[in-house]
Chains A and B, each alone.
Chain A
């Protein structure tokens, strides 16, 4: 019998061996030293038929409770949104799905143009001129941005907000460790969460490579003194890097329009499923400045013409920055990236268009605003903990002394509601607090359900 994915049957393989004068298949492995040859079968689960595998994986995954089958208020780095079916059906087209990196431009125009369109969409959203064809995720994009800032400025100090996502900060620490960059956390105003401007100015010397902020922040509020931060950074000769949730850019000013030199972010909400946190899509964009563009990490797709100059086409450009040519002097080690998620992001974003993205952002923000107002009205709960404008995420503090945020979540879960992400371990100074997220998946009614369940959990009458 043949094998479904190995088309050459045993008979054909015998014939091939014969044709090339090899006595047996073992002869082709004779170069593996005796001592290290595996003399037994690998101990793996038994081989299964396609149907068995399907049932097995389905049954295993049925132990998960998808957020589509309950009410969930989780965000915090990946965010659930409705994905129009045509987005996934287009990226599943096997000419895209089963292609490798478009090294052969002539036979890969489709992927190259789609990625050029992704880069273009990212530039429109962020107000930058140049975007790469993707990084792994937001966290690694910050890491790469900080390394780039250090190369461009020749400096080693990096300023980040204390309220940066702790997971992203943990990744940044590892990326910054190679060249020994110094990461300094900047404090915040306790009532508003806003970056401490006086500390920023105090730390901003001639040794600072990069000032990084997140807008919206990890805790959901908007950083409002963005022009001042940009001016201060630039005055000291540092580069200003902003991290974003791209959906927010439907209603928020492009970071390029308030002075950002580099914009990073998480592109997953643009057309990729949450999928337990991966694959994700690292957004990376910068200004059209030769000093920056020469140092950008990752793949870049550029427009050009055929050699006869007659037809427009697309190709990978500035490859001399990359590892396969520059080796240890490359701007990054990245090779495989998240190209297909980038194509999904392009398709998703152009499906919405300018008006759609604005409306979507407005719905997400309006839902959060309503949820905050209703939750804050409950005795024993406080939302948000910062008096600042918010986008679609916000903090919820449990002030009822007998109730921890974890216990509140457990009670909500009994009502088929997944509450926010507890941050009491990450930021103990904020007490029993969680970060909640709303998107267009939520309705006024579903938020009311959360509010009712939360009121019951804290024992408040409404």
Chain B
């Protein structure tokens, strides 16, 4: 397979900035005629200057179409970005979220006029409750990290209600960066526990780390090495024994659907990434959705409003009367447009389908693991004999030692094969890490092509390391000066315009 990304380029740049395409008096919009008298704004508040670009609709459409052609999505090709679950996003879900009846409703409308929206959220909550084995779900958070922040607020509220001032949150050294940041944002001190030689939480170190001060342990399972924390019951016991809570980072839920449930493992708080496991698209970084599930004892602390159903009146309603609620973490009730897509996806899959997702995703990851294991240059640092779950982390330390080829060179070279780079240099406990998550939506043929590309790159590391250093060449643009970009940041057209010399 040959890949060459579109590259709309003029002399010293790709497609010009929309500001550079502007010509006076062009417009891409029509407005109703003004019939009412104008409003007078006090002079000190009246705008005198606004310099937005002016373009016609065809120019705008062409500009952004060209930009889109210089972008790579799951619909373009294989996207094995570890921990991000870049699976195919069914188109029907987009169509349903765009329904006028779903997209043109206001959150403050009379409840009688939004019964369908409330019903959908209520039913999605029930589905997620069952999938995670928890008592109740809150759909408010906009993203996984937002869910983590809410989870930490719930943790604080829980301990406070029991008269405890627990200040410490324990996080394994392999955890996602958001775990540390979310705990810190909610005012907790972060304690790090090491992984053992099997790539799992070191249970002895954990037992030493827990104390009366422990508010919670945040854990991803399968963890970021793609390995199942098989001592999870012992971990849960150690944390619960001192009165701490167990928090589940749901980034890797795709590895266990229908096989086991966070609630059954002993987790008290669970977040979901609907934009990962439940196939809502990532949109170049968002919008996502990061619902939170909780065990019974935490239910009363959930944010307001909670969606309830009055059986007698057969009516859904928003309940704000929750005296112990932590309040709000977002205006309104969640990223509804994303929730519609996730709900449709769960119906499309059903219980069997969800389990099949996990089986196929895990098989794909193990297939890559075994096919690359033993290829010179790629090494498994932890538990090389057991199965992985949805993802695998290879180390290219041998390649770096022998040929000076680092992980990110391999990642960049993969782009030339029409494959998106894996996550690299993460988790930090693996030197020269390449974290590969194929998901269930890839064919065996695609996996074989990827494996062949990885082998070819390993060969190149030996024979033509220069080729790796020059990569990528098939992309819209070559390697960028990222150091300069951060050293002398140019962050807007305004900043760019003020520069004495232009790029």
Contact = CB atoms under 8 A, between A and B. Distances in A.
Contact of B79 (A4, A100, A310): A100
A363 B31 contact: yes
B444 interface: yes
B306 interface: no
Contacts of A413: 110, 112-113
Contacts of B37: 366, 369-370
Contact of A306 (B256, B275, B479): B479
Contact of B95 (A16, A54, A136, A351): A54
A47 B86 CA distance: 23
B39 interface: yes
Contacts of A101: 282, 284-285
Interface in B379-410: 386-387
Interface residues of B, number: 207
Given A109-B14, A339-B285, A252 B47 contact: yes
A317 interface: yes
Given A20-B366, A106-B479, A274-B103, 4 more contacts: A45-B347, A171-B327, A307-B478, A353-B26
Interface in B170-208: 176-178, 180-187, 190
B68 interface: yes
A7 B356 contact: no
A153 to B, nearest CB: 18
A408 interface: no
A109 B70 contact: yes
Given A178-B187, A354-B51, A421-B108, A279 B46 contact: no
A167 B332 contact: yes
A119 B70 contact: no
Interface string A24-68: 010111111101111001111111101011101110111111111
B310 interface: no
Given A94-B73, A309-B481, A317-B491, A38 B259 contact: yes
B268 interface: no
B84 interface: yes
B412 interface: yes
A58 B324 CA distance: 36
B108 to A, nearest CB: 5
A354 B54 contact: yes
B477 A334 contact: no
Contact of A67 (B109, B148, B491): B109
B82 to A, nearest CB: 11
A206 interface: no
B441 A29 contact: no
Given A25-B359, A359-B34, A327 B180 contact: yes
B114 interface: yes
Nearest to B13: A312
B12 A311 contact: yes
Nearest to A99: B73
A334 to B, nearest CB: 6
B36 A366 contact: yes
Given A8-B444, A64-B113, A355 B477 contact: no
